[in-house]
Amino acid sequence: MSLLNNGNTQEQKVRLSISRRLTMIVLSGVILTAFMALMNGYQRSMDEAQKQLDIQLMSMANVLIATPVRHWPEQSDLFAQLWQQKSLVYSANLLKNQSISALESPGFKTQNISGTRLRTCVLHAGDKRLMVAEPIHKRFMLSESLILSAMTPLVFAMPLLAIFIAWYIRKALRPLTTLSNELKERQANDFKKLEIVSEDAEVAPVIERLNSLFAKVEKAYLRERYFASDAAHELKTPISSLKINLHNLSDDIQHPSLPAIQQGIEQLNHIVEQMLTLARTEPDRWRTNFQPIDVMALSQNVVAQLYDRIEQKHIQISLDAQQYWLKGCEFTLHTLFINLLGNAVKYTPNEGNVRLSITCVNGKIVWMIEDSGPGMDDTEIARIFDRFYRVGGDKHPSGEKGAGLGMAIVQQIAEIYGASVSFGRSQLGGLQVQVEFPKEHTCE
């Protein structure tokens, strides 16, 4: 169960560009509108073309019926029949056995004649009955060629229109993109005023509000950053004076309350030291001082430093490690390890077990400590990094005193290295704490 670097462990949500979405929406609307306009224009053009071709067919019929047959033009694609006094006078590309009844009704029709779909025009003049026709497919080919020639420029203009729309939207949203890029590149402790200038009614108020918020957050950040260190520093002198005076007093007066007072002063001094350590481990302060550190040797030094407490509780401690080098700062790593090992020793009962191991998995150094203490449940682990939080408070079954700042320091140091801290049940029965350092801090 990992409680650190949630931004790294959670799945990254896919962020969609406003520019891209807006471009797609506008282009979809334009394309849909253009398509509907093309379809409507196509239908209207077809209808208009049919009307014009009908007029042309009627004109041809008027010319033919007024012209003697011997003067009719010889055209292989002419579909015509001329009847006079109920006798067939002329027939071209039409069945000669067709009944004159088909020519009784003047006007236009679409019908199948001689196995061909035709548009016919019947005209009466005295005792003459004339049918002139033309194939439907010929009409459609002619109409479509005219319509397509008129609409082709619009179709080819669509890509250019799409490019223009995308460019214009991108240009219109450029102030937002610039603002986003500047905020993305900023460090967490950079509260300087934004230098972006925008006249857009939507962006300018955002920049002004952000600059106002930066100023307020900077003041709060500086108050929080320096308060703990200043307060702890100012408290060290009176605490030292109290310890000296109490020591001198204990030489002259023997009172049952003196040990409790001494213990209280020691606890207060421990809290002050932890507050100072917390103030000294700001991430940006230490990253510039990294150098190769022997993790195994540093861990051995930490064990040696706490060995008196380990021996006092008769704890069996083991170290399973190989020599691995880590790019880091000795002070911060020492503070990290001693807080975690100190907690394990503190909450492990007398004659218990503590096991420390250092491994390298997939290029990542893993520092892990396990104990045989009471362990922690999920609710307690969820609050483990809260400042001044202690499991059970001062009523913890172990009876150990503490400031509740150790794990907050661990979290802050882990952030310096981009490391993850996870918790679980130890094989020894207590708590297992695992610190995994990223590959970029591992020295080959």
| Domain presence at residue 237 | no
More confident residue, 365 or 72: 365
Q: How many domains does the chain have?
A: 2
State which of 172, 194, 212 marks the end of a domain. 172
| Domain presence at residue 189 | no
Residue 429, pLDDT > 60, answer yes
In angstroms, the CA 282 to CA 241 distance is 29
Q: What is the pLDDT of residue 8?
A: 44
- Dihedral (CA of 183, 184, 185, 186) sign: positive
Residue 282, pLDDT > 70, answer no
In angstroms, the CA 411 to CA 433 distance is 12
Domain of 314, in residue numbers: 281-443
Q: How do residues 292-301 score in pLDDT, each as one tens digit?
A: 889 899 999 9
Of these ranges, 48-57, 310-319, 411-420, the one predicted with the greatest mean pLDDT is: 310-319
In angstroms, the CA 314 to CA 332 distance is 28
Contact 105, 122 (CB under 8 A): yes
Both 291 and 437 in one domain: the answer is yes
Both 166 and 293 in one domain: the answer is no
Q: What DSSP character marks residue 13?
A: P
Contacts of 229 (CB under 8 A, 6+ apart): 275, 276, 279, 280
Residue 75, pLDDT > 70, answer no
Q: What is the pLDDT of residue 56?
A: 85
More confident residue, 152 or 304: 304
Both 168 and 287 in one domain: the answer is no
Q: What is the pLDDT of residue 22?
A: 81
Residue 226, pLDDT > 80, answer no
Both 287 and 166 in one domain: the answer is no
| Domain presence at residue 209 | no
> φ, ψ for residue 262 (rounded to 5)?
-60, -40
SS (H, E, C) 59-81: HHHHHHHCCCHHHCCCCCCCEEE
| Domain presence at residue 205 | no
Contacts of 309 (CB under 8 A, 6+ apart): 342, 345, 346
- What's the alpha-carbon Rg for the chain, to the nearest Å? 46
Q: How do residues 324-382 score in pLDDT, each as one tens digit?
A: 888 888 888 888 898 899 888 888 888 899 999 999 888 889 999 999 888 887 777 77
- pTM of the model as a whole: 0.48
Q: How do residues 136-148 score in pLDDT, each as one tens digit?
A: 887 777 777 767 7
State which of 120, 141, 172 marks the end of a domain. 172
Q: What is the pLDDT of residue 409?
A: 79
More confident residue, 76 or 58: 58
Both 161 and 308 in one domain: the answer is no
Torsion of CA 141, 144, 148, 149, to 10 degrees: 60
Give the confidence band of 5 by pLDDT, cuts at 50, 70, 90.
very low
349: three-class secondary structure by DSSP: coil
Domain CATH for 437: 3.30.565.10
Q: What is the pLDDT of residue 11?
A: 41
| Domain presence at residue 115 | yes
Residue 9, pLDDT > 50, answer no
Q: What is the pLDDT of residue 367?
A: 92
Q: How do residues 170-216 score in pLDDT, each as one tens digit?
A: 888 788 888 878 787 777 667 778 777 777 777 778 888 888 888 88
